[in-house]
Structure 1
């Protein structure tokens, strides 16, 4: 079993929790673990009981800083291509070697540095693998990677392994992955007793925890759309939107944060943005969804399409009107098909254990022998 692990992450949204969960479980099993990330991640990493090393050469980055349009896309691309992260990883390994390095699959600059130094690495894929790989190897982001001198296709091919922490049945490209790529299932927090027939159900509204232009306005339209309906609306804004900036209807409460695991057992519909973490958690609870993707540059449009195509809910564009949101919500709320499909998928997801599967693979000595160069 590898006895020391170095994890590399970045200040994002849903990418952080699964990496920290894997790192904490590996540490619980006896591995020596440290996590490198942007300075603003110290609190989250240390709250997970893990040792934190901030990047020294990486470009400054905070996911809640206001950016919009092209500047947002270029900002994310700069993080993913950042060679400074790679230099920091190599420097950390020089000071303190590790048996295995686990890197967020978007950090191509870090993967390039490890490959040049012939350091073996495992890639963590924290969303649909088809979306992550396609985004890095084609389109605008793929072009940026090429212009920065990176070859994501080769870097993925050279990985010791990929841990894909998503629901395989929802990934359109799951049948075309290399033998070193392993679907573990989504990594989920503890799910309590489900109460789908509670008299006073909740509609949970949760968009991105990162800054996205127009998100506050969309939250306001959702609140207005649900205001006439006899439902309790719970809105979580995350750190990027001030709850005080929203006008709240009588049937709604707005909070910066509540644990979704507390609300979801009593939730009848989730209205979300198509973020992987929120979507997987809602579906694991058997809750149908209405998805309005707010960031069109990565996985949210595909996740919205997958949810709609599998009849797990509906999707709308983020500029949808109050009337359109209300009509789609009423369709999801009243549909037996959406609810039954979500409940069946949720039962399958709850029967698995993505965290155990991921850590088992990570700490498996036999895989080291079988997949060595």
Structure 2
């Protein structure tokens, strides 16, 4: 997908039908950067996961990076006017010199405004929310997580796609639900156990909920998210192959130390009111105005 020239062709056709002041290019489709640049519009590169993941993917030692160079679609061939990195500065340390853009803006996560932060009461349930994508080994990891919760004096809500729920042994203290919007469930829980997905993790922190991360894929930014969560003290990371006892101990460790919840509320506060969204929009408008002034 990153090098599919059909994407560039489609973009060129759209811009011929309707000119744009600025084009926002998803970092997963850098092939579109060239077409956007040739149109004369301002070009913004939107990076929606930890920056270290993208810069490693674009490096000379990465298979994807080498492929993009061979196909002449690497993002360094047509650097954007600016890059918007939608990650939290306290969690993601951006190397601006490795980003293919003339200017780099770390706006903070794009999270809908949080109107009801979690109260984190002792009797509230824990939320188990793994990816809706079935990563290899995810169902087994989910089962071990449920088994760990079964041995604890607490309740939990597990949001699971129906196809992924097939065959799961659900203990009496766990309520199984279909996936639902974060804003509907996070205000009433005291811990998120998840796969380290950027969006889910940032939503939890915006609500002031600490996290226990079990990265399910080394081909995504989930390991980076897990490491950052542990580093800044908003939760812990456990191996996707962790035993039931290890998972149970990690759950107890996070819940027994109020410092994790306090730190989660502190780290999530800057993007709780939708500031990341407004900042990103401002930089897109800036790029449009700069291009218009230059022409």
TM-score (norm 1): 0.72
Tell me the matched-pair count.
291
- For 2:96 and 2:127, the matched residues in 1 are separated by 33
- For 2:52 and 2:166, the matched residues in 1 are separated by 38
- For 1:124 and 1:97, the matched residues in 2 are separated by 20
CA shift, 1:252, in A, is 0.9
* Aligned pair partner of 1:180 in 93, 98, 103: 103
SS at match of 1:234: strand
- For 1:222 and 1:127, the matched residues in 2 are separated by 25
- The question of 1:314 aligning with 2:236 is answered yes
- For 1:238 and 1:140, the matched residues in 2 are separated by 32
Counterpart contact for 1:202–1:263, Cα < 8 Å:
no
**Counterpart in 2 of 1:123?**
45
- For 1:115 and 1:342, the matched residues in 2 are separated by 40
- For 1:324 and 1:173, the matched residues in 2 are separated by 32
CA shift, 1:149, in A, is 2.6
CA RMSD of aligned residues (A): 2.3
* Aligned pair partner of 2:81 in 131, 135, 160: 160
**Counterpart in 2 of 1:99?**
21
Matches within 5 A, 1:159-238: 159-173=80-94, 176=97, 180-238=103-161
* Aligned pair partner of 1:143 in 30, 55, 66: 66
- For 2:269 and 2:17, the matched residues in 1 are separated by 46
Counterpart contact for 1:294–1:300, Cα < 8 Å:
yes
Matches within 5 A, 1:1-373: 79-115=1-37, 120-138=42-60, 139-155=62-78, 158-173=79-94, 176=97, 180-238=103-161, 241-350=163-272, 353-364=275-286, 366-368=289-291, 372=294
CA shift, 1:88, in A, is 1.3
CA shift, 1:151, in A, is 2.4
Tell me which moved more, 343-352 or 111-120.
Answer: 111-120
SS at match of 2:267: helix
Q: 1:338 to 1:148 in 2, by over 3 A?
A: same
CA shift, 1:278, in A, is 0.6
- For 1:89 and 1:212, the matched residues in 2 are separated by 31
CA shift, 1:267, in A, is 1.5
**Counterpart in 2 of 1:26?**
none
SS at match of 1:168: coil
SS at match of 1:170: coil
Counterpart contact for 2:187–2:207, Cα < 8 Å:
yes
- For 1:199 and 1:311, the matched residues in 2 are separated by 20
Higher RCO (CA < 8 A, seq sep 6+): 2
Counterpart contact for 1:243–1:255, Cα < 8 Å:
no
Q: Deviations over 1:294-342 (max 9, x none)?
A: 1101211111111111111111121111111111111111122212211
